[in-house]
Amino acid sequence: DTGVSQDPRHKITKRGQNVTFRCDPISEHNRLYWYRQTLGQGPEFLTYFQNEAQLEKSRLLSDRFSAERPKGSFSTLEIQRTEQGDSAMYLCASSLMSGLDSPLHFGNGTRLTVT
């Protein structure tokens, strides 16, 4: 168990640019989640996948955001035409399945700064 891996750890971009983040979940986990955390707040749910199917998206996920998990393994989160309000920590998590015995395991996040 090597844990959830996120890349890059930090990203600085100019407003209007597109960015893409990658998440590699724990290998046997079939559920993958994206959360966003801003300063002084707890993580906020963005979306989650079961295998390659995206099962739910938050209203926080505007049209500029898209997430994929093409083969049910790693996932990407893309933000198009970034805005300063997108600056946050983007956290990925995975779990084996739904249920009380399968809590979310989080990666260390990608910190995005939009200048």
Partner 1 sequence: DQQVKQNSPSLSVQEGRISILNCDYTNSMFDYFLWYKKYPAEGPTFLISISSIKDKNEDGRFTVFLNKSAKHLSLHIVPSQPGDSAVYFCAASGGFGNEKLTFGTGTRLTIIP
The residues that touch partner 1, with contacts defined as CB under 8 A, are 4, 31, 40-45, 48, 56, 58, 91, 93, 95, 98-100, 102-109
Element (H, E) at 100: none
Residue 11: C-alpha distances to residues 26, 28, 43 (Å):
23, 28, 19
Q: C-beta of 16: minimal distance to partner 1 in Å?
A: 28
Strand residues in 17-74 grouped as ranges (E): 19-24, 31-37, 44-50, 53-57, 65-68
Residue 50 beta carbon to partner 1: minimum distance, rounded to whole angstroms? 10
Based on CB atoms, which residue is closest to partner 1, 34 or 114?
34
Q: Closest separation between CB of residue 112 and partner 1, Å? A: 15
Q: Identify which of residues 63 and 101 has a Cβ nearer to partner 1 in the complex.
A: 101
Helix (H) or strand (E) holding 52: none
